[in-house]
Amino acid sequence: MPPARSAPLHSSLAALPLPRSRLAPRTPPHSPRGGRRGNPPSSPFPSPFPFPAEPLPRARLPPPLRAPCGARGCSAGAAFQYLLVQKTGAQKNVGLIQLNRPQALNALCEGLMAELRRALEAMESDPEVGAIVLTGSQKAFAAGADIKEMQNKTFQECYSSGFLAGWDKVSVVRKPIIAAVNGYALGGGCELAMMCDIIYAGEKAQFGQPEILLGTIPGAGGTQRLTRAVGKSLAMEMVLTGDRISAKEAKEAGLVSKVFPVEKLLDAAIACAEKIASNSKLVTAMAKESVNAAFETTLTEGNRTEKRLFYATFATSDRKEGMTAFVEKRKANFTDS
């Protein structure tokens, strides 16, 4: 059954100042067209966010559940304040997490990130979940970290508490995570998307690292992951100017793998997650570990990691079943063992 339609999430204005847009003048801020420079058109709203005047298309989110998916499936406990969490897909093998802080365009406050870690831990331990989709609203995936929370922090507080260190939980989850990005993915929002394994973007999405405009720099991997994704020149330009790039530019630069119409983005991300979840979860985790090694080691060491994990698959029942099914010309029945 396709996901049911639901009304778009309406957000109020946020205090985070946004950088100037890289899109051409007089082009709506969510448009995939336009040049690489220029300022957004003036907005009737008293905010630095350039909202479009026309209504946004309706979202296609499945009916949300507010409970985490535990080892025995979704239960009724531990409701979230800033997230909508459920299992979806035809086989209910895809975990869906929607950031739900519309009043601040999904600004990543400490409470939201703590809930995200808890939801990911629950899905990691759920044997039915084979892949995870992380999304936001159609106006914003996440417009950045919560500036009001951090504006009065001192160096001593940041250093002694390991400020933002907990965000790395997203990048160490063994199950594949797909970021479905509509609207703004700025600052911490862009960093959060880059922590995921695959990024699908709606055609009106915008990506950026505008921390320089606030007198600071990215602190959750922005300078590192962005450079590895798009190369030094574009990463340096984005980080030093605070300029944003469109979904189309992000696709051309290699930051995202596919771009979809806004209303089809979530369905496409869930379909990809279902395809991943149909494979052996054990071998999928090995494949993810091997690909990630390419970004964190030398070529020689990465090849050693690949060989070690490749050999390890021969100790699994799923490797034997997969090859036997291929020879017998039938569909493999993986048992995640």
| pLDDT tens for each residue of 186-195 | 999 999 999 9
Work out the percent of the chain whose per-residue pLDDT is above 90. 67
C-alpha angle 163/166/169, rounded to 5°?
Answer: 155
Given a contact cutoff of 8 angstroms between Cβ atoms, the answer to whether 107 and 14 are in contact is: yes
> Taking residues 239-262, what's their average pLDDT?
96
* Per-residue pLDDT band at 78 (split at 50, 70, 90): low
**Residue 231 pLDDT:** 96
* Residue 328 annotated in active site: no
* Residue 121 annotated in active site: no
Check 130, 136, 188, 189 and give the catalytic one: 188
Position 183: which residue type?
G
More confident position, 291 or 56: 291
Say yes or no to pLDDT of 20 above 80: no
Which SS3 state, helix, strand or coil, does residue 66 take? Answer: strand
Q: pTM here? A: 0.76
Say yes or no to pLDDT of 135 above 80: yes
Check 104, 142, 145, 193 and give the catalytic one: 145
**Residue 208 pLDDT:** 96
- The region of weakest confidence among 196-200, 217-221, 260-264, 286-290 is 217-221
* Per-residue pLDDT band at 169 (split at 50, 70, 90): confident
CA nearest to 140, candidates 111, 188, 102, 179: 102
> Taking residues 317-324, what's their average pLDDT?
94
Which SS3 state, helix, strand or coil, does residue 103 take? Answer: helix
**Residue 162 pLDDT:** 82
Say yes or no to pLDDT of 161 above 50: yes
CB neighbours of 187 closer than 8 A, spacing ≥ 6?
Answer: 16, 143, 144, 145, 208, 209, 210, 211, 218, 222
Residue 106's region, left for phi above 0, alpha for psi from -120 to 50, else beta, is: left
Say yes or no to pLDDT of 206 above 60: yes
Q: What is the mean pLDDT of the chain?
A: 82
Residue 237 phi, psi (nearest 5): -65, -45
**Residue 10 pLDDT:** 40
C-alpha angle 195/201/207, rounded to 5°?
Answer: 65
Check 128, 191, 203, 249 and give the catalytic one: 191
Say yes or no to pLDDT of 200 above 70: yes
**Residue 25 pLDDT:** 45
* Residue 191 annotated in active site: yes
Question: Rounded to whole angstroms, how far apart are CA atoms 31 and 247?
Answer: 9
Say yes or no to pLDDT of 28 above 50: no
* Per-residue pLDDT band at 79 (split at 50, 70, 90): confident
CA nearest to 181, candidates 191, 171, 166, 167: 191
* Residue 188 annotated in active site: yes
Say yes or no to pLDDT of 307 above 50: yes
Say yes or no to pLDDT of 180 above 70: yes
Say yes or no to pLDDT of 196 above 90: yes
Check 115, 128, 211, 249 and give the catalytic one: 211
Say yes or no to pLDDT of 219 above 60: yes
**Residue 140 pLDDT:** 95
Given a contact cutoff of 8 angstroms between Cβ atoms, the answer to whether 239 and 212 are in contact is: yes
**Residue 166 pLDDT:** 81
Say yes or no to pLDDT of 157 above 90: no
> Taking residues 35-39, what's their average pLDDT?
43
Question: Rounded to whole angstroms, how far apart are CA atoms 26 and 42?
Answer: 9
More confident position, 53 or 300: 300
Residue whose structure tokens are 């279902």: 274
Say yes or no to pLDDT of 173 above 60: yes
**Number of other residues whose CB lies within 10 A of the CB of residue 205:** 32
CA distances from 20 to 36, 50, 201, 327 (A): 11, 10, 20, 57
**Residue 14 pLDDT:** 42
